[in-house]
Amino acid sequence: MSGAYFVTTPIYYVNASPHIGHAYTTIVADVLARYHRLRGDDAFFLTGTDEHGDKIAAAAASNGVSPQEYADRISEQFRALWPELLITNDHFIRTTDAQHVETVRTILQKVYDAGDIYFGEYGGFYCVGCERFYTEKELVDGKCPDHQTEPEYRKENNYFFRMSKYQDWLIEHIKKNDNFIRPERYRNEVLAFLKEPLEDLCISRPKTRLTWGITLPFDDAYVTYVWFDALINYITALGYPQGRKFSQFWQSAQHLIAKDILKPHGIYWPTMLKAAGIVPYASLNVHGYWNIERTKMSKSLGNVVKPLDLKNKYGLDAFRYFLLRDMVFGLDANFSEEALVQRINTDLANDLGNLTSRVLTMATNYCGGKTPAPPSEATGDDTLKLAARRAMVEYEEGFANLAFHKALMGTWGLINRANKYIVENEPWTLAKSAEGTLRLREIMYNLLEALRIIAILISPVMPLTAQKMFAALGITAPQDFNQAKAWGSLAAGLPMQKGEALFPRVKYEDNGSTGNPNGEVVLKKEVPLAEVAYDDFAKLDLRVGSIVAAEAVPKSQKLLKLRVDIGGEQRQIIAGIANDYRPEEILGKRVVVVANLKPTKLMGQESCGMLLATDGKEGKLSLIGFDKEPLAGAKVR
């Protein structure tokens, strides 16, 4: 069933450059928009910038430019960032857009005409950082709980929105609609707040104090309070009141925010809508904060994490995956680069990357580079079919509850099951005998079909990787999710293209980290290298070796068993290069051998020596060789 789906991010203040927090909300909105498009929904995805008010005027003044110039500059940084993160927003709204100014004035006039805006005097504690008055009870030790600064006491004549009038209606509405504010902790937080009498909202600022705002339609001497202005963006963008988009999308509105702006979205906005005669949004979806090394991110602490830096360093899909996988939506999460690297090396390089490259390599070798047809005499092996079904159920449930980490865990359940399926079924053994052909075809079909389903499931989060996987399978991105989900949809005879590794392993450079749980990831310590005396160096017996035989070590993904000629003597060397070289590809290669290394046993096999290698392209090892062909056994000096 397809339908309309409207998803929004907060419109970000233009007083600071985008950071990982802004990127998170926007990527989540993008993932939801992509997921809904995949399901055939008509999605409209909105983001933008919030440009009026004291805060922006102050930032512009301290930068020596006009508020408009300043807003243009920072808004452009947000607008330009989103395509870099492959954000597929349908519209980018600015509160300085003429259409928005007009919509805000229309709503103000409507609410004023209905008698829900009145003129009165107000005195209170005002925090400039938050752009709002605080009640004494809300202050912590007399300070703003968010900014830890003492608010100023302000008294002025202003316009007020009769918010209190809608308190009972709002409580009722929240109670009747489980998903109106979610997760539940935030719903409870708003309901707890509503236990106290709701005060009316001051919605104007005298121009004597602030001119950077939208002039009230009924009093030229005032501009609109920035929150009353900003929240309305969500309907301006749909062309309220007449727009076709408004009637199509508004009732499906899903707002995404972090917990910092729960009150304006959970209380001001629904009551404003009610007063303007507009039905409330469908859901307010509230997430926690990304903290950096367990502290709040802030410019003054100098710990602001920039999304583009991470994209450029680790790749976009890895960054997007990490954000969705490591935060439980609703709770705070801790960002560390080390955790990101760990995810890349385990979930992406080891699990997904290895599965993809193993399956495609085997399919190329055993199926002639074309997707096989499932044999009609199939043995009825539905291991992966069932695993895929389970993954899809967990995925759908995860998305329905905004538990993106669970949706991804479900998908990884299928990835890990497929990796295990390879080990259990040993396609390489079947490939050696003619009797194994039918079974081999069935196994390869199942694995390729699993890859196709995995690519579909990851596509909202990792669009680039999904694209590479579709291309490798010789198919295009599916148009109809419900059809594409059906097991057995992969057509036979499609030309496969084994591309480069999806996720090269990454080394993390840090001062203190150690350890790698599975022996694959090397977290590089920045330890100064010890000096070695020449005499010690001379103890190394480095020789030219010629590889005369190579084969995989049974049950090992990483090791190759080599026979290496080092001049009149042949050695068995077990080298961890199976992910980097195929046995047939290194036969005859001249390599550098550490010939006097103490023998050791690896996976039960004796290894007498070691090959020297370095990091090559795409995280692959590159064996050290020679530009001219030397004699096997020659000393390397």
> Which residues lie below 8 Å from residue 144, measured CB to CB, with a gap of 6+?
127, 129, 130, 134, 150, 151
Q: Does 257 bind ligand MSP (CB under 6 A)?
A: yes
* 127 a catalytic residue: yes
* 22 a catalytic residue: yes
Q: Does 50 bind ligand MSP (CB under 6 A)?
A: yes
Q: How far is the CB of 211 from ligand MSP (least distance, A)?
A: 19
Sign of CA dihedral 68, 73, 74, 77: positive
In contact, 490 and 452? CB cutoff 8 Å: yes
Q: Which is nearer to ligand MSP, 39 or 52 (CB)?
A: 52
Q: How far is the CB of 157 from ligand MSP (least distance, A)?
A: 26
Which of 36, 52, 55, 127 is flagged as catalytic? 127
Q: Does 131 bind ligand MSP (CB under 6 A)?
A: no
Q: Rounded to whole angstroms, how far apart are CA atoms 31 and 37? A: 10
Q: Does 21 bind ligand MSP (CB under 6 A)?
A: yes
Question: Pick from 445, 443, 441, 469: which is nearest to 455 by CA?
Answer: 469
SS (H, E, C) 320-331: HHHHHHHCCCCC
308 in helix, strand or coil? helix
Q: Rounded to whole angstroms, how far apart are CA atoms 359 and 425? A: 13
Q: Rounded to whole angstroms, how far apart are CA atoms 363 and 359? A: 6
Q: How far is the CB of 22 from ligand MSP (least distance, A)?
A: 5
Q: Within 13 A of 148's CA, how many CA atoms are on the CB side?
A: 2
Q: Which is nearer to ligand MSP, 9 or 345 (CB)?
A: 9
323 burial level (CB within 10 Å; 0-12, 13-18, 19+): buried
Which of 52, 55, 100, 130 is flagged as catalytic? 130
Q: Does 25 bind ligand MSP (CB under 6 A)?
A: yes
256 in helix, strand or coil? strand
- Taking CB under 6 A as the criterion, the residue among 59, 261, 391, 403 binding ligand MSP is 261
Q: Which is nearer to ligand MSP, 258 or 610 (CB)?
A: 258
Which of 19, 36, 406, 485 is flagged as catalytic? 19
Q: Does 632 bind ligand MSP (CB under 6 A)?
A: no
Q: Rounded to whole angstroms, how far apart are CA atoms 632 and 23? A: 55
> Which residues lie below 8 Å from residue 172, measured CB to CB, with a gap of 6+?
none
* 296 a catalytic residue: yes
Q: Which is nearer to ligand MSP, 151 or 307 (CB)?
A: 307
Number of H helices, E strands in the chain: 23, 26
- Taking CB under 6 A as the criterion, the residue among 5, 10, 485, 571 binding ligand MSP is 10
Q: Which is nearer to ligand MSP, 9 or 465 (CB)?
A: 9
Q: How far is the CB of 53 from ligand MSP (least distance, A)?
A: 9
Q: Which is nearer to ligand MSP, 287 or 561 (CB)?
A: 287
Number of residues that bind ligand MSP (CB under 6 A): 19
Q: Does 78 bind ligand MSP (CB under 6 A)?
A: no
Which of 155, 175, 296, 420 is flagged as catalytic? 296
Q: Does 127 bind ligand MSP (CB under 6 A)?
A: no
538 burial level (CB within 10 Å; 0-12, 13-18, 19+): exposed
* 202 a catalytic residue: no
Q: Does 290 bind ligand MSP (CB under 6 A)?
A: yes
Which amino acid is it at 454? I
Q: How far is the CB of 233 from ligand MSP (least distance, A)?
A: 6
Q: How far is the CB of 297 from ligand MSP (least distance, A)?
A: 5
DSSP H stretches of helix in 459-586: 463-472, 481-484, 534-538, 583-586
* 255 a catalytic residue: no
- Taking CB under 6 A as the criterion, the residue among 5, 6, 7, 24 binding ligand MSP is 24
Which of 155, 175, 299, 555 is flagged as catalytic? 299
- Taking CB under 6 A as the criterion, the residue among 107, 198, 230, 444 binding ligand MSP is 230
Residue span binding ligand MSP (CB under 6 A) among the ranges 4-12, 38-46, 240-248, 596-604: 4-12
* 265 a catalytic residue: no
511 burial level (CB within 10 Å; 0-12, 13-18, 19+): exposed
Q: Does 335 bind ligand MSP (CB under 6 A)?
A: no
Q: Does 11 bind ligand MSP (CB under 6 A)?
A: yes
Question: Pick from 287, 282, 336: which is nearest to 314 by CA?
Answer: 336
Q: Does 22 bind ligand MSP (CB under 6 A)?
A: yes
Q: Does 236 bind ligand MSP (CB under 6 A)?
A: no
Which amino acid is it at 554? P
Q: Does 13 bind ligand MSP (CB under 6 A)?
A: yes
Residue span binding ligand MSP (CB under 6 A) among the ranges 11-19, 317-325, 576-584, 598-606: 11-19
Q: Does 81 bind ligand MSP (CB under 6 A)?
A: no
> Which residues lie below 8 Å from residue 426, measured CB to CB, with a gap of 6+?
none
Q: Does 4 bind ligand MSP (CB under 6 A)?
A: no
Per this entry, what is the length of the chain?
Answer: 637
* 299 a catalytic residue: yes
- Taking CB under 6 A as the criterion, the residue among 297, 324, 418, 592 binding ligand MSP is 297
Taking CB atoms, the residue at the shortest distance from ligand MSP is 21
* 367 a catalytic residue: no
Q: Within 13 A of 259's CA, how many CA atoms are on the CB side?
A: 18
In contact, 127 and 146? CB cutoff 8 Å: yes
Q: Which is nearer to ligand MSP, 260 or 520 (CB)?
A: 260
> Which residues lie below 8 Å from residue 7, measured CB to CB, with a gap of 6+?
29, 32, 33, 36, 43, 44, 45, 46, 254, 256
Which of 52, 55, 144, 265 is flagged as catalytic? 144
81-110 burial: b if 16+ Cβ within 10 Å, else e: bbeebbbbbeebbbbbbeebbebbbbbbeb
Q: Which is nearer to ligand MSP, 261 or 275 (CB)?
A: 261
Could you give the residue numbers annotated as active site? 19, 22, 127, 130, 144, 147, 296, 299
Report the interface residues with ligand MSP, using CB under 6 A: 10-13, 21-22, 24-25, 50, 230-231, 233, 257-258, 260-261, 289-290, 297
